[in-house]
Amino acid sequence: MKNCIEIMNPDFELEGIITNFESLIFIRNFYECGSFELTINKNKVNTDKLVKDNFLIVNKNDEKVLIIDKVVDESNQNSKTLKISGPCIKGITKRRIIATNGYDRVTETEAENIQKHYIKKHMVESYYDETRTPERDIPFMKIAPSKNRGIRTVWQARLTNLHDEEKHISEDTGLGWNIILNRNEKCCYFDSIEGVDRTVNQVSNPTTHEMLSHMTHEELQAYTHEQLRGNIEHPYIIFSEKKKNLLNAKITDDNSNYKNVGYAAGKGENEDRLITVIGNETGFNRRETFIDLNNIEEPDELNSEGQKSLAEYKIVQSIEGNIREIPNMEYEKDWNLGDLVTIESDGIYEDKRIIQVKEIYERNNIKIEVGFGDKIPSLAEQIKKMTKRPIA
């Protein structure tokens, strides 16, 4: 099928279709907003519709909606090229903050309800504390009914970016999220994503990493779904250099930003300041950091928020690589963004979540690059973490 991009305006009216673009690089992310860059010759049909705030839908897939944020027109003696870029539609959450005077708190409930609470209160049916603020609503945004998915926890936020808060909830609870187009209603629905366990170590499945590690190259290549169907809940997925469906693997195991003991400091001045110690590592393994929470005055709340802050200083373990599709292990048919899968590299097996998929469209071909496990933080994210301070 020929790759195509539909162009819609903010009222979700179709303005045109493009099928002959030079390239499209589209990054989907389980925890946060992805991004895209489209390259196309300016003289082609419907390029005049590629304007800021219009939406692009990739291959008529309503879960792949992009927002145009930036248009660059490049000209030389031989051609005129447009470079169109922006976020996926999840990026619309970057347009709002958790606008409140006091903390917007959610008592213990499932992660899905926490995610949807902040979307509703700051984008769909907006409030500033107890005051209704309809000017902050986005009319085409709706929320899918909750299925009460994810772990039970509590949350609080104040004057942080809505997108960043959704990202942190997602990373802490393991529950992803997406915004999906509904063509019939001409609106978009926010919904949570759980991901499917497709590892070889599913409950009641007798197959283990240890057994696989003893297989020869030929045996693993021949390993099929039929050998594992038995009583597993979902057909397994293994990405492996041996199976030749994981190419150019890059493995990162990074302790450089890891901390396991935090001195969380709450309200107060000098020696009267409330301080609690989180973590109990000792000796050489102890890695300390200071956590500034100067607006908190209750010890239990300080401990809870301190643990969340300390969790940001985790060990980064990730695998990246190009994916080659093979029978029974095809993208969006047998596995998808957010699924838990088994990874093999250099004879080592690990179960990891698919947290990012980069789709590269060129000349009607599609190349897939996948990121597993923890995201490697960018320099900007590390600086943001170092300078992050709560607002008193």
**pLDDT at residue 379 tops 50:** no
The DSSP element (H or E) to which 252 belongs, if any, is: strand 246-254
> What sections of 128-272 are H helices per DSSP?
162-173, 209-213, 217-222
**pLDDT at residue 52 tops 90:** yes
Q: Which two tokens mark 334?
A: 């047998």
| CA distances to 31, 267, 313 from 254, in Å | 20, 33, 11
Summarised one tens digit per residue, pLDDT across range 335-369 is 999 999 888 777 777 888 999 999 999 877 888 88
Report pLDDT for 247: 72
Q: Directed axis angle between helix 162-173 and helix 299-311, to 10°?
A: 80
Tell me the CB-side half-sphere exposure of residue 77, using CA atoms within 13 A.
0
Report pLDDT for 213: 65
Q: What is the mean pLDDT of residues 270-295?
A: 89
Summarised one tens digit per residue, pLDDT across range 186-243 is 999 999 999 998 887 775 555 566 666 666 656 665 655 455 444 456 777 888 877 7
Report pLDDT for 250: 73
Q: What percent of the chain has pLDDT over 70?
A: 85
| CA distances to 18, 20, 41, 75, 81 from 78, in Å | 22, 18, 11, 8, 10
**pLDDT at residue 105 tops 50:** yes
**pLDDT at residue 293 tops 80:** yes
CB 236 within 8 A of CB 199: yes
**pLDDT at residue 388 tops 50:** no
Predicted structure pTM score: 0.78
Summarised one tens digit per residue, pLDDT across range 235-269 is 778 888 777 777 777 777 888 889 999 999 998 88
Which domains are seen in the chain, by residue range? 5-87 (2.40.30), 93-194 (3.55.50), 209-254+316-373 (2.40.30), 261-311 (no CATH)
Q: What is the mean pLDDT of residues 147-176?
A: 93
Q: How far apart are CA 226 and CA 39, in angstroms?
A: 42
Report pLDDT for 223: 59
The DSSP 8-state label assigned to residue 115 in this structure reads: H
Q: What percent of the chain has pLDDT over 90?
A: 52
Q: Which two tokens mark 281?
A: 């590592």
Report pLDDT for 372: 84
Q: How far apart are CA 252 and CA 381, in angstroms?
A: 17
Report pLDDT for 68: 97
**Measuring CA to CA, which residue among 361, 373, 377, 390 is closest to residue 20?**
361
Q: Which residue has the higher pLDDT, 373 or 25?
A: 25
Which residues are 83's β-sheet partners? 39, 72
Share the mean pLDDT of the chain.
85
Report pLDDT for 322: 74
> What sections of the chain are H helices per DSSP?
111-119, 162-173, 209-213, 217-222, 299-311, 379-387
Tell me the CB-side half-sphere exposure of residue 327, using CA atoms within 13 A.
6
Which amino acid makes up residue 254?
Answer: D
Confidence of residue 392 (pLDDT cuts 50, 70, 90): very low
Confidence of residue 96 (pLDDT cuts 50, 70, 90): very high
Q: What is the mean pLDDT of residues 146-162?
A: 92
Report pLDDT for 391: 36
| Residues with Cβ within 8 Å of residue 191, at least 6 apart in sequence | 143, 144, 177, 178, 179, 180
